[in-house]
Amino acid sequence: MFEMILHRLSTVGLRRGLNGSRALLFLGIAAVGIRTLRRLARDDDEGILYRTAIRPGDVFEVITSRPPGK
């Protein structure tokens, strides 16, 4: 929900700000900055269960299953 609001503020603020509204331009720049900081601060390693180096000749098998409750 918060991400949708930031997206809307950034697009509207930049669009109307480039057409002359200084206050909306600053609002759009601030919203883009917040979205960028949130994206950089995310921890994207949540889905990694196991990590190892693969060398030539190694054999591995990937088995997927549906998560419980979905």
Domain that holds residue 17: 2-40
Is 16 a member of any domain? yes
Mean pLDDT of 6-22: 93
* Residue 58 is assigned to a structural domain of this protein: no
Note whether residue 63 is domain-resident: no
Q: How many domains does the chain have?
A: 1
Report residue 46's pLDDT band, with 50, 70 and 90 as the boundaries. Answer: low
Any domain includes 68: no
- In-domain check, residue 17: yes
What is the phi/psi pair of residue 38, to 5°?
-65, -40
Euclidean distance between CA atoms 9 and 32, whole angstroms: 8
Predicted pLDDT of residue 52: 85
Give the predicted TM-score (pTM) of the model. 0.59
Is the pLDDT score of 28 beyond 70?
A: yes
Question: What mean pLDDT comes out for the span 7-31?
Answer: 94
Per-chain mean pLDDT for the chain: 88
Residue 27 falls within a domain, yes or no?
yes
- Spatial contact of 20 and 13, defined as CB atoms under 8 Å apart: no
Residue 70 banded pLDDT, cuts 50, 70, 90: low
Burial (CB < 10 A; 0-12, 13-18, 19+), residue 59, is exposed
